[in-house]
Structure 1
Amino acid sequence: MVAGEPSGDLLAARLLSGLKPHIPGARLRGIGGEHMIAQGFESHVSMDKLTVRGLLAVIPRYREIKGIQNQLRDQLLADPPAAFIGADYPGFNLGLEEQLKAAGIPTIHYIGPQIWAWRGGRIKKIIRAVSHMLVVFPFEEEIYRQAGVPVTYVGHPLAEVIPMAPDEAGARAKLGLPQDANVVTIMPGSRMSELKYNTVAFVQAAKLLKQRDRSLRFVAPMAGERQRRYFLELVAQAGLQDVEIDLLDGQSHTAIAAGDAVLVASGTASLEVALFKKPMVIAYKMMALEWQILRHFGYQPWVGLPNILAREFLVPEMLQDAANPQALADAMWQQLSDAPHRLRLAQRFTDMHHSLLRNSAVESAAAVLKVIGRG
């Protein structure tokens, strides 16, 4: 198995938890993080060596990462496993899987790359590389099936973790927030690059919202101490120290549950907000050159996962120059003040939650066992 990022580490660990009872003597090896290691996984290379954020950030690290891929390929070809499982991280794993599959080693990829959003041409490589695809969104099954790729929908792990009826009162009590407070949760991203481009606009929007309603309270979960320091540095450089925001150590789910609405960077966090049944505004900014490259690859009008799953603009999306402070503040104010809209959203997000709910550990493990002839 190979996971190259924390999200893949969590996915793979959950799969391992379902797999181990059926093959207790199996040797589990490759590259993984702390959650996989806790399941008895042997990581021969630190996962941190693979974790690279951003399209352009890969270039200076390419030779090192390619060397790791080649070394692992040679090891697996010399001592073939019953199967290879790539946990997300498609840029690395699909290339490795293509070589392993050609050598007769069964390859499983979990989760399906978002070919429905961009880079649809990647399906040709997937056909060559993947023996069986595990997907976390129900509509993905038909896409891969039509392409001739064996596929299993296993549900989204987040749908199991997040309660169907979140405890807003409990979350506010945990954070020391008044039960009757008007709370906005600010989530500019966990990656340093996301913080770099989103923080100032998000905090400026919070300042404008505060001018409209002095009673508003703001909370912002930080992924770690490094992210906290960088967030504060960016706020200070922009002269926004007067904006009162309670920074939290982690606790992102508690922060979402406590909020009346969430200003969130596009990505998995937006799906988490939807599963917590909260109104939101999705926004994202990036390096100008990267934006000019990526903006031409989109195949559909939505980038936020809640909107993609709904196939409509349930919540506002604001990207790059459109994600300016005034526009963000106006959109957030609408989410906070439109009560009928909030009720409609809660119902749509509840339906979405049910559609994503499976026992992903059991379902993914069953698919792997079938591939290796142990089903």
Structure 2
Amino acid sequence: MASSADISVAVVAGEVSGDMLAGRLLAGLRAQLPNARFHGIGGPRMAEQGFVSDLPMDTLTVRGLFEVIPRYREIKRIQNTLRDRLLAERPAVFIGADYPGFNLGLEMQLKAAGIPTVHFVSPQIWAWRGGRIKKIQKAVSHMLVIFPFEEEIYRKAGVPVTYIGHPLAEMIPLQPDQDQARSALGIAVDARVVTVMPGSRMGELKYLAEPFVGAVKLLAARDPGLRFVVPMAGDKQRAYFNELVARAGLSDVDILLVDGQSHSAIGAADAVLVASGTATLEVALFKKPMVIAYKVMAASWHIMRHMGYQPWIGLPNILAREFLVPELLQHAATPQALADAVWQQLTDAPGRLRLVQRFTDMHHSLLRNSAQESAAAVMRIIESPSS
């Protein structure tokens, strides 16, 4: 293998979760390739490892099926430009960090040209769009998976695969300290706290913030002593949420908006109202009762609801293979239904204890040294004579 100074590694992450995952992988790689060039498209976690982003990550961020249509040409142009650069550069490996709609198409073209491709985080072919496995076979030299049940799927399909564990299982302690989290946010230890997580992207807020605010209003009416914590991903999100709070007349309700600090917000909670996505797994690893909600554009929902292969959408329920926690989807995610479900989670003491045990078992099953495991898999590809 050439010296690390002569090696370039290209990576694309299109969302916050992909940036976090790729940041862990690059930390492991940087230890073995101290002088390599890491570049592509990514966010702040990747930048901490010396990654240079050729474009801001948010230029790729789109949510939903129909929401992508107005930006299709722009995103396709970015993909083509990046493809041409990488075909000229010929990096030692290309790593697609999640974001399959963009990355799999790029990987297929790079692999066909002889550039090894790694896809980090399996598309949810076990949940919907199982036909993607055929595209993955053509696009991916090696798949890195973060859930143990995914290994068998790819082995059966003849796709080289490595289970690396889930990085969040390393970042979140097995026994989170609720008192410490509350202290960090200035919340009394004996307070009753509901954390509200309507999503980090404006696309999510557009559909979930209003019913979530409505649920807050109903819960506060049931128990005026409740404290609500809402982590915000940025100034635009904060302004939008504050506007909804003001419109709902909640000036007397104890709502604490915090910048980022999602782990402190979850750790401080007695129950969490959360948008479907990676955040639901974070809540499970913090061993917290939760209610999961999901809403998208009506046209997207009409298609997506016919494409599912299993009855769950929340990661904790998928991993458990049962409805451990409630899921309220699309039209079912009304303020009243959300408030009733959160209240049940707050007041069911035996149920809370059962969830702690189930989520602890889940945590153990996901715990590996993901940076080391993922970096080792990538290094095997870089060092392979065929690559």
TM-score (norm 2): 0.93
* 1:259 and 2:230 matched: no
Map residues 141-180 of structure 1 onto 2, 5 A cutoff. 141-180=151-190
Query: Match for 1:356 among 358, 362, 366?
Result: 366
Alignment pair present for 1:117 and 2:127: yes
Correspondence for 1:99 among 102, 109, 122: 109
Looking at structure 2, the residues matched to 269 and 136 of structure 1 have their Cα atoms a distance apart, in angstroms, of: 15
> How much has 1:98 moved relative to structure 2?
0.5
Contact 2:193/2:271 (CA < 8 Å) preserved in 1?
yes
Figure out how many residues of one structure are paired with residues of the other and give that number. Answer: 375
Gaps of 5+ in 2: 1-10
1:325 corresponds in structure 2 to 335
Partner SS, residue 330 of structure 1: helix
> What corresponds to 1:32 in structure 2?
42
Give the TM-score normalised by structure 1.
Answer: 0.96
The 3-state SS of whatever aligns with 1:120 is coil
SS of the equivalent of 1:259 reads: coil
Pair 1:193–1:44, CA change in 2 (3 A): closer
Q: How does 1:271-310 map to 2 (within 5 A)?
A: 271-310=281-320
In structure 2, the CA distance between the partners of 1:27 and 1:175, relative to structure 1 (3 Å rule), is closer
Candidates 206, 211, 227, aligned match of 2:237? 227
Hey, which bits of structure 1, 4+ residues long, moved more than 4 A?
Answer: 238-242
CA contact (8 A) 1:196 1:234 kept: no
Whole-angstrom distance in 1 between the partners of 2:360 and 2:293: 22
Distance (Å, rounded) in 1 between the aligned partners of 2:41 and 2:261? 27
Match of 2:260 among 239, 243, 250: 250
Separation in 2, partners of 1:291, 1:343: 34
The more displaced of 202-211 and 139-148 is 202-211
Q: Percent identity?
A: 74
Provide Cα deviations, 1:175-213, integer angstroms capped at 9, x if missing partner: 222211111111111111211111121122222222222
Deviates more, 1:224-233 or 1:122-131: 224-233
Question: How large is the Cα RMSD of the aligned pairs?
Answer: 1.6
The separation in 2 between residues aligned to 1:35 and 1:63, in whole angstroms, is 28
Partner of residue 137, structure 2: 127
Instruction: Decide which moves more: 145-154 or 57-66.
Output: 57-66
CA distance in 2, matches of 1:17, 1:135: 18
Contact persistence 2:12–2:95 (CA under 8 A): yes
Q: Which residue of 2 aligns with 1:65?
A: 75
What whole-Å deviation, never above 9, does each CA across 1:221-248 have from its counterpart, x for those lacking one? Answer: 1111111101112233444445431111
Q: Counterpart of 1:345?
A: 355
Q: Report which stretch shifted further, 91-100 or 25-34.
A: 25-34
Q: Given that residues 200 and 238 in structure 1 are in contact (C-alpha distance below 8 angstroms), is that contact kept between their aligned partners in structure 2?
A: no
Deviations 1:14-46 (A, max 9, x none): 111101222223222222223222312232233
Structure 1 unaligned residues grouped into runs of 5+: none
TM-superposed CA distance for 1:2, in Å, is 1.3
The one-character-per-residue Cα deviations of 1:38-83 (angstroms, maximum 9, x if unpaired) are: 3122322332322223322221221121112112212222231211
- Secondary structure, counterpart of 1:21 in structure 2: helix
